[in-house]
Structure 1
Amino acid sequence: MFELGDLVIMKKSHACGQNRFEVIRLGADIKICCMGCGHIIMMPRRDFSKRLKKIATKQPDVKIEQESHYVTLDQLQKPKI
Structure 2
Amino acid sequence: MEPKRFSLGDIVRMRKPHPCGSYEWEITRLGADIKIRCQKCNRQVMLPRAKFERNVLKVLSQQGKELDG
Whether the TM-score (by the shorter chain) exceeds 0.5 is yes
- Does residue 59 (structure 1) correspond to residue 63 (structure 2)? The answer is yes
User: Percent same amino acid among aligned pairs?
Assistant: 44
Q: What stretches of structure 1 of length at least 5 have no aligned partner?
A: 63-81
Q: CA RMSD in A?
A: 1.0
Q: Report the alpha carbon displacement of residue 44 of structure 1 after superposing the two structures with TM.
A: 0.2
- Does residue 16 (structure 1) correspond to residue 24 (structure 2)? The answer is no
Q: What stretches of structure 2 of length at least 5 have no aligned partner?
A: none
Paired residues, number: 62
TM-score for both structures, normalised by structure 1: 0.74
TM-score for both structures, normalised by structure 2: 0.86
Deviation >4 Å, runs of 4+: none
Partner of 1:46: 50
Hey, which of these two has a bigger chunk of strand by percent?
2
- Does residue 31 (structure 1) correspond to residue 52 (structure 2)? The answer is no
